[in-house]
């Protein structure tokens, strides 16, 4: 008997996480029964790849909105930031300026910010609530072979594989996440970056960021070990962590480095290439970490990537922050000075 419910196909891309999903018809609104299947798949695999979706910004937003309330650019606009993209819920993670030109060395701050994405992170860890799902679409990809892959890390398995003594040591520790540190501190050469800073750090603007004290801004508190909605447990340790409560900055950094060195071992990582314009990758920020890998395209070819981000709606969305006082750190860079 023919089924009235579309069945998606889920093809694993790695032994423990990440999968490609086929069989979703994005040419019309994705029905709730299919959304349910996608939800089951993301719970299990943490990262889902949808090739050749044909989605535009509006369709992308409509699909994403079915997985939780979406973060938007409203505070950025209110703070005076001009946007290249019209939809407030669509975040511009391209290498383009407002006129659609590729950002070059001429704009070192913006370039530095883009390079911060090369460090392992979970989106919006510096906010309260933190992010649930990110859905990233390649609107226009650079020519093949010039880089731009996105790499993911299985932060649930990385936690489960930790020695018991380490689990005990970190079980109640609270990290203070700051967006301001993302990449910049490494680019400013303040600590050895774990993510192999292949990029030319001269392109960054350390002198600008030297003047910024992250403690002057709200820090978002989340435990390093956070239960996941599936009943598993996630190592929620990112390069956004400025310090850990009760520890010196140096000891905090050493522990973050130690944990990320464990989690970033090759067996927990999966590099996913972008193949076609309109490819979509969805990931669960409460289960995996990710990073951009950069590449030869960076200052030469258009890479127009667009992202929606849903808020985590689970019991750990606000971490150790006051759930009645949500906050966001996404202010335009000029306001940090």
Binding site for Fe ion (CB under 5 A): 123
Cα distances (Å, whole numbers) of residue 149 to 61, 141, 245, 251, 305 = 22, 10, 34, 32, 12
CA atoms of 258 and 312, how far apart (whole Å):
27
Cα distances (Å, whole numbers) of residue 69 to 16, 134, 209, 221 = 28, 12, 32, 21
Q: How many CB atoms lie within 10 A of CB 120?
A: 23
Q: Which is nearer to Fe ion, 8 or 284 (CB)?
A: 284
Q: Which is nearer to Fe ion, 128 or 238 (CB)?
A: 238
DSSP track, 312-326: P-STTTTTTS-TTS-
Q: Which is nearer to Fe ion, 37 or 89 (CB)?
A: 89
Q: CB of residue 171 vs Fe ion: minimum separation in angstroms?
A: 26
Q: CB of residue 165 vs Fe ion: minimum separation in angstroms?
A: 31
Q: Which is nearer to Fe ion, 8 or 114 (CB)?
A: 114
Q: CB of residue 172 vs Fe ion: minimum separation in angstroms?
A: 27
How much helix, strand and coil, in percent to the nearest 5, is found in the chain?
25, 20, 50
DSSP track, 99-142: TSPBP-TT-HHHHHHHHHTTS-B-TTTTSBS-EEEEEEEEEEPP
Q: Which is nearer to Fe ion, 8 or 328 (CB)?
A: 328
Q: CB of residue 292 vs Fe ion: minimum separation in angstroms?
A: 7
Of the candidates 216, 209, 196, the residue with the CA atom closest to the CA atom of residue 112: 209
Q: Which is nearer to Fe ion, 10 or 70 (CB)?
A: 70
Q: CB of residue 93 vs Fe ion: minimum separation in angstroms?
A: 7
Q: CB of residue 283 vs Fe ion: minimum separation in angstroms?
A: 9
3-state secondary structure of 55: coil
User: Could you tell me if 274 and 106 are in contact, meaning their C-beta atoms sit under 8 angstroms apart?
Assistant: no
């Amino acid at each position: 008997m023919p089924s009235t419910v579309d069945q998606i196909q889920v093809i694993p891309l790695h032994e423990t996480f990440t999968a490609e999903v086929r069989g979703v018809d994005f040419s019309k609104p994705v029905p709730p029964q299919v959304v349910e299947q996608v939800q089951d798949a993301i719970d299990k695999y943490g990262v889902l790849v949808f090739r050749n979706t044909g989605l535009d910004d509006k369709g992308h937003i409509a699909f994403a909105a079915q997985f939780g309330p979406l973060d938007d650019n409203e505070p950025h606009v209110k703070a005076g930031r001009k946007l290249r993209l019209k939809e407030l819920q669509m975040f511009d993670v391209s290498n383009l300026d407002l006129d659609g030109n590729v950002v070059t060395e001429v704009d070192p701050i913006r370039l530095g910010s883009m390079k911060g994405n090369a460090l392992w992170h979970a989106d919006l860890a510096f906010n309260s609530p933190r992010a649930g799902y990110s859905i990233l679409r390649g609107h226009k990809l650079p020519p093949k072979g010039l880089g731009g892959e996105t790499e993911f890390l299985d932060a649930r398995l990385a936690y489960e594989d930790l020695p018991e003594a380490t689990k005990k040591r970190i079980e109640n520790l609270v990290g203070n996440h700051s967006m301001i540190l993302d990449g910049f501190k490494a680019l400013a050469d303040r600590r050895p970056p774990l993510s192999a800073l292949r990029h030319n750090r001269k392109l960054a603007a350390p002198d600008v960021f030297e003047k910024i004290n992250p403690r002057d801004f709200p820090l978002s508190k989340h435990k390093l070990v956070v239960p996941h909605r599936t009943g598993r447990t996630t190592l929620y340790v990112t390069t956004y962590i400025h310090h850990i409560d009760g520890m010196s900055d140096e000891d905090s950094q050493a522990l973050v480095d130690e944990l990320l060195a464990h989690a970033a071992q090759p067996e927990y990582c999966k590099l996913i290439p972008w193949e076609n314009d309109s490819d979509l990758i969805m990931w669960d920020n409460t289960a995996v970490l990710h990073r951009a890998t950069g590449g030869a395209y960076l200052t030469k070819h258009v890479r127009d990537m667009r992202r929606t981000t849903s808020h985590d709606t689970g019991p750990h969305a606000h971490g150790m922050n006051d759930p009645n006082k949500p906050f966001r750190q996404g202010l335009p860079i000029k306001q940090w000075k």
